Structure 1
Amino acid sequence: MFAKVSRFVGEVKGELRKANWPWEADPKVKGFKKYKELTDSTVVVLIATILLAGFVSAWDFICTYVLNFITSFGH
């Protein structure tokens, strides 16, 4: 069992070394400049999430208004 776990951990380490990490690999780059790609991607995701939430909220409001208007004829 320990051999399987050890082999698994070794394979995970090997795959993680192959990964393209979203920060600068150059040790000369310091501070927030090192994480420029990461911060840019985070900002894009946040903006997209806010826009999607606004779109869904607007459609929810419109559908609710339309359904309330249609069902008001039954009263």
Structure 2
Amino acid sequence: MFSKVSRFVGEVKGELRKASWPWESDPKVKGFKKYKELTDSTVVVLIATVLLAGFVSLWDFLCTYVINFITSFGH
């Protein structure tokens, strides 16, 4: 069992070395410039999340209003 776990960890390390990481690999780049792609992607995700939340909230409000309007005729 130990050999299987050891082989698995070795394969995971090998695959992680092949991955493309969202920061600059140049050791001369320091600070926030090193993480430019990462911060840009994070900003895009946050903006998309806010827009999606607004869209869902708007449709929820409209559907609630329409259902309340339709069901108010029964009173």
Q: Same fold (TM over 0.5)?
A: yes
Q: RMSD of the TM alignment (CA)?
A: 0.2
Tell me the distance in 2 between the aligned counterparts of 1:8 and 1:63.
Answer: 51
- C-alpha distance after superposition, 1:11-61 (max 9, x if no partner): 000000000000000000000000000000000000000000000000000
Q: TM (normalized to structure 2)?
A: 1.00
Q: Which runs of 5+ in 2 are unaligned?
A: none
TM-score normalised to structure 1 length: 1.00
Q: String of CA shifts for 1:51-72, please: whole Å, max 9, x gaps.
A: 0000000000000000000000
Distance, in Å, in 1 between the alignment partners of 2:64 and 2:5 is 54
Identity of aligned residues (%): 91
Gaps of 5+ in 1: none
How many residues end up aligned between the 2 structures? Answer: 75
